[in-house]
Amino acid sequence: MRILGIHSDGFAFEANDRAMAAAERITRREGEVKGDVVVVYTAVEAGDEKDPERLAKILAHEAARRARELKVPRIVLYPYVHLTSNPSDPKTALKVLQGAELALKALGEFEVVRAPFGWYKSFRVSCKGHPLSEWSGSFTPEMPLPAEGEKVTAARPPSPGKPEGPQPFKFSRLVLQDMEGSTYEVTRENWQDSELWKKTGDAYDRLRQFVRNEVGGAPRAAGEGTEPPHISFMRRHELVDYCEVSEKGHYKWFPKGVLIQRLILDYARELAREWGAAEMKNPILIRGDNNIVGELMGEFHERDYQVDGGRGICYLRYASDPLGFPFMQKVRFTHKQTPFKVYEEASCFRNEQEGEVSGLKRVRNFLMTDMHAACATVEEARREYETLCLRFGELMDRLIARGRWVLGWEGTVQFFDENRDWLVGIGRSLGVPAFFKLMPEMTHYYAIKNEYQSITSDGSNIQVSTVQWDVKDGERFDIGFIDETGRKRPCAVIIHASSFGSIERTLCTILENIAIDASRGATPAFPLWLAPTQVRLIPVKDAYVELALKLAQELSSRKVRADVDERSETVGRRIRDAEQEWVPFIVVVGEKEAGGAPLQVRVRGEREQPRLSLEELASRVREGTSGMPWRELPLPVRVSQRAIFFG
């Protein structure tokens, strides 16, 4: 960042025309400051996006120090890109200027004016002409934050990938909720003494662990430092693996993993269709010079992937919102068509810190099932919110976490107090305990959101589904509906939701819950609808290969994924291999089967081996996958023709 400072006899400016698409919205085009004033012309440079918040504090400190030195009660911050030949992206520049303005106003000792960003402006300045009336400087995010009265001194590099010092706990109220709907106010210091913990059971054990994790007091997990079970499973079954030619947190999906991914997406797409959403597809690249989008991205508080877009700085999207909302503002829909609903399978990018990237739990590139509903009224939004909450509870119970989850809430004190009975009622209807973290004021676009948190065997939690109550973006993006009089009115609420959060975290949760089952003595197994092979046919001799292939084809025609292991290995070895792959049903094909006898079926996790006709076997698979999507085998039907994807 470069600055030019001038001690002036007054200052005036007028904004004439937009200089870029990123020009900030303004209500006044002119401004004038009378009397002694320090004018700080500022140009934010490429590289400053590393830490714009720190740079804003440095700018505020430097401006305040000069004003105090000159005994001047007024400061003007003026964006002046002409001070540099290597400007930053507009989003970063505006963030620095806005942050400096807020920091200066918070001091309470100056009249502070900031000229609008992104506009062609005329200005009038009159330099005092004394030895201290002009100065300049160059600053970087690496420079330390000076103490009161100190000058900004030589730079020192920050610790890479870690915030400086402990992060503040932004929540002012904490509330526990039991499964009957009773609530218990607690604090970070006394939460373990709550009356709620007199209740016993697995659900309250999970809630206790979740609260411990959230308030920052999580103990060292048993076995910490060892590999989470889902990583071993995803590699052993050739689902997903690290990709050494890419960056950490970006994964390679093998055919079996792709099948599971697409089956989950099929389910999510059907859920969204039944909900009434139209499917969309938005770009993944966000221009860096759109400040309305920049406001939204800034509130999200995530790490951006910055790329060279060819015509300036761009960002890879973190969710579908930054590109979906500008689309929604252009759509014309009436009061008869609300809530207006859209769905997208969004490939997203978040440049997470190195130490936070862990298996499929925390990644840098993921696939999100994103749902939005633009609601005309609060009553309409309530119906949609509650509908999605209950539907996602079914997902967690039936498909993802097998009941091993709790409900986390985050929002404002005001929204909670005004809607307490309704919010508590949602948790009661879901039949799970909950934890509310409440802020004194909004720091994001939502007034309340919930998160469906699965608790794993090591005591950590994984967020899967979420539903959010957005009260900002309708107005910010001018998303509205045509009312009965033909006038456009802003939508009261936009509901954000994600059925499966991300496919990566969903698969992680499923595999971690399989590990919990196995630790309790159950036979590990994929959910039947996700098993890459549902039936494995093993011919005892080459003479029965054709029969096995015919049976596999007939099962496939009945929507059962069946393959044939006709390798030269012994029958016992092939059975063991099928068991290692967690194949749900194994059928050995021999002389009796060739003679028309029913198939003797090994059922995973069961001791008995029933004799079933082909139709009975197919019916049993269909019953176990009722209501779920189906896709064909992801690999050749002959096991001998398959490559080994993970060595």
Hey, what domains does the chain have and what are their CATH numbers? Answer: 2-138 (3.50.80.10), 173-218+318-511 (3.30.930.10), 528-641 (3.40.50.800)
Q: Does the pLDDT at position 558 exceed 60?
A: yes
Tell me, what's the pLDDT at 627?
92
Lowest mean pLDDT among 216-220, 233-237, 421-425, 505-509: 216-220
Nearest by Cα to 33 from 130, 125, 105: 125
- Residue 542 CB contacts under 8 Å (≥ 6 apart), including other chains: 566
The string of pLDDT tens digits covering residues 369-403 is: 999 999 999 999 999 999 999 999 999 998 998 88
Q: Does the pLDDT at position 575 exceed 50?
A: yes
Q: Is 631 helix (H, G, I), strand (E, B) or coil?
A: coil
Q: Does the pLDDT at position 46 exceed 90?
A: no
Q: How confident is the model at residue 310 (pLDDT cuts 50, 70, 90)?
A: confident
The string of pLDDT tens digits covering residues 67-112 is: 998 899 999 999 999 998 888 888 889 999 999 999 999 999 999 9
Work out the average pLDDT over 343-358: 86
* 44/150: higher pLDDT: 44
Quick check: 497 and 466 in contact, CB under 8 A?
yes
Pairwise CA distance, residues 247 & 605, whole Å: 39
Tell me, what's the pLDDT at 225?
54
Q: Does the pLDDT at position 55 exceed 60?
A: yes
The string of pLDDT tens digits covering residues 142-159 is: 887 766 555 543 333 333
Structure tokens at 329: 């503002």
Q: How confident is the model at residue 300 (pLDDT cuts 50, 70, 90)?
A: low
Q: How confident is the model at residue 297 (pLDDT cuts 50, 70, 90)?
A: low
CA 248, chain centre distance (Å): 17
Q: How confident is the model at residue 174 (pLDDT cuts 50, 70, 90)?
A: very high
pTM attached to this predicted model: 0.77
Structure tokens at 87: 């400007």
Pairwise CA distance, residues 617 & 609, whole Å: 12
Torsion of CA 27, 30, 36, 42, to 10 degrees: 80
Tell me how many helices (H) and strands (E) the chain has. Answer: 16, 28
Q: How confident is the model at residue 222 (pLDDT cuts 50, 70, 90)?
A: very low
Tell me, what's the pLDDT at 296?
65
Work out the average pLDDT over 474-481: 86
